[in-house]
Structure 1
């Protein structure tokens, strides 16, 4: 095997596949990156069995030569070492040659590295997915749906299914829901080009890594969902993720329909006030901040730490209807919910001091955030 490749193009591809490589795997060959070279270009594959990322570098692209293929073949190189070497090579032209099946020589300028490769036949095969049953999704929509929900997944493995985001596709609509049982994030969108119904749970870790790959792309993403895997295809990148097993809880029953207090408020002002109050709240175990209605025109945000002191801040309301209220909640959860909504005008609706409350945008009813309050003395 022998090819010459543009270093910057190789680095871009490595940045993608390295997201799927874990140093903790029990399968030694998965600490490596598989390199397949054909007359059409170079394919890199990284996997930790949960996530598999494959990226293709075409030999020629937009009338530019990325790769010169001298001899085709396949090998597996130790991922972290190969990545570090490529980053530090002195020139933008890299020659990679394999002799005696595993002796790999990497040349750039006057530098030459000699690495021992592994047999590519030992590398696990990609999941077998029928890619004909795909549906498109705008990249910006997919990125926003991930950003507005994935932060609310559970971080502990006590209920593994809650470490993922529930994707329900029904009646040509997609509903994404994440909850850790203390808060909930929901986002809806129309999906008119989807004919099938789905109800799957995608690991939060997978969606976070996918979002990094999609960061600089606006190309529509092709999505394929099977019983055990989901595949996202974009810009010469295939992103496979396993799906989580188990039944996701019915979250609709958690969302209240009747409210005792409704507020309309500037979301950015509320976020900044809670951020300031949280400076003193860090001393308590749940980062607790209190909200109290003062009148129909204002509320008070406060926090108290016996060791440090207390903070109080009054915020004007656009509207306040219903009963007076005192409620305590996690500053972290509230700030993340407000950031996900990301709007100036936010509606916050309460059903009492110890019942879950919801936040939503005044302009966009597709985003909903729910938070369970914290009991304080």
Structure 2
């Protein structure tokens, strides 16, 4: 291999590929990135048995070839080089020579023959998404996926496509987040797929606020094409919970409140908490007023926030972390919160903006 490449573009491609690498792996080959110089194109690939991320970079290919190099070491070297062109050469003993102006490096590589090969997915029938819209959809839902759940489907999000409608749904047993949107072009048949939450976090880090991306699926995998970057990931097998049936049909109390005012009150009340296991806040709602209190061995906190109110007075308690995560991901100036009673789920919705639903189970209050 003998190539010449722009330092910034190469550094960016390596950074993208590194997102797919599991740093806990003991397999030396999977600690590396695959560098492929072929067909007048340089491709950098990272893989961890679940997800593959590859980015193509414009390069001058003087001699084709492939090699695997340690991801951390290669990335650190390239990012520290000057903003100019970088020369990379390899020899038959898998040595990698990196030259840039007055900098010279020689590092050891590995043969690329045993680097895992991803299945080739069909590029037909790709679905177009707006990058900024999908980025917001993921941001507003992915936090509600479960960590190490008993039911593996809860570690992912449901991508629910119907005609020109798209829903992204996350559920962990304590809360449910649903973000709805529209596709620019309708699809012919319904699609349901469960995408790992960790994959969506990787995707979100690659999305920008401009342009489109394309998504394709088969029965086992999903592919994302974002500019010169291709991500292929395994889907989660199983049946996702019928989330629509979890949404309450009626409420006994409904309030409207300024989103940021409520967020700041909860954040202050939560300052007393030093443990994720002891972070309960109590909310008391009466006509025109919401009172938020917290109480533990560190002391107590009291907050008031003005509301618009209809229905019955209510006392209810929530995990403050879960409540905050739903509220701070809403972009609307005001939110509506619907309560079905002190032991039933509450529903939080923005007053305006994209359609978003956040359901949260309360914590039972002692006598």
Q: When the two structures are superposed, what TM-score results if normalisation uses the length of structure 1?
A: 0.93
Partner of 1:132: helix, strand, or coil? coil
How large is the Cα RMSD of the aligned pairs? 1.6
The separation in 2 between residues aligned to 1:107 and 1:127, in whole angstroms, is 34
Corresponding residue number in structure 2 for 1:253: 245
The separation in 1 between residues aligned to 2:83 and 2:192, in whole angstroms, is 49
The separation in 2 between residues aligned to 1:182 and 1:201, in whole angstroms, is 19
Are positions 1:160 and 2:149 aligned together?
no
Corresponding residue number in structure 1 for 2:116: 124
Deviates more, 1:221-230 or 1:110-119: 110-119
Count of aligned pairs = 365
1:76–1:119 CA contact under 8 A, matched in 2:
yes
Are positions 1:371 and 2:327 aligned together?
no
Corresponding residue number in structure 2 for 1:62: none
Work out which of the residue numbers 297, 300, 325 in structure 1 matches 2:288. 297
The separation in 1 between residues aligned to 2:275 and 2:91, in whole angstroms, is 61
1:91–1:108 CA contact under 8 A, matched in 2:
no
Corresponding residue number in structure 1 for 2:325: 336
Question: Which structure 2 segments of 5+ residues have no match?
Answer: none
Partner of 1:9: helix, strand, or coil? helix
Partner of 1:131: helix, strand, or coil? coil
Distance 1:365 1:351, change over 3 A: farther
The separation in 1 between residues aligned to 2:275 and 2:228, in whole angstroms, is 48
The separation in 2 between residues aligned to 1:117 and 1:21, in whole angstroms, is 17
Distance 1:353 1:290, change over 3 A: same
1:258 CA drift (Å): 0.7
Distance 1:35 1:338, change over 3 A: same
Partner of 2:344: helix, strand, or coil? coil
Are positions 1:178 and 2:177 aligned together?
no
Distance 1:12 1:299, change over 3 A: same
1:249 CA drift (Å): 1.1
The separation in 2 between residues aligned to 1:308 and 1:264, in whole angstroms, is 31
Corresponding residue number in structure 2 for 1:55: 55
The separation in 1 between residues aligned to 2:271 and 2:95, in whole angstroms, is 56
1:91–1:109 CA contact under 8 A, matched in 2:
no
Question: Which structure 1 segments of 5+ residues have no match?
Answer: 59-66
1:90–1:111 CA contact under 8 A, matched in 2:
no
Work out which of the residue numbers 190, 209, 232 in structure 1 matches 2:202. 209
1:101 CA drift (Å): 5.1
Corresponding residue number in structure 1 for 2:7: 7
Work out which of the residue numbers 239, 262, 270 in structure 1 matches 2:262. 270
2:40–2:60 CA contact under 8 A, matched in 1:
no
Q: When the two structures are superposed, what TM-score results if normalisation uses the length of structure 2?
A: 0.95
Are positions 1:19 and 2:11 aligned together?
no
Are positions 1:316 and 2:294 aligned together?
no
Are positions 1:244 and 2:233 aligned together?
no
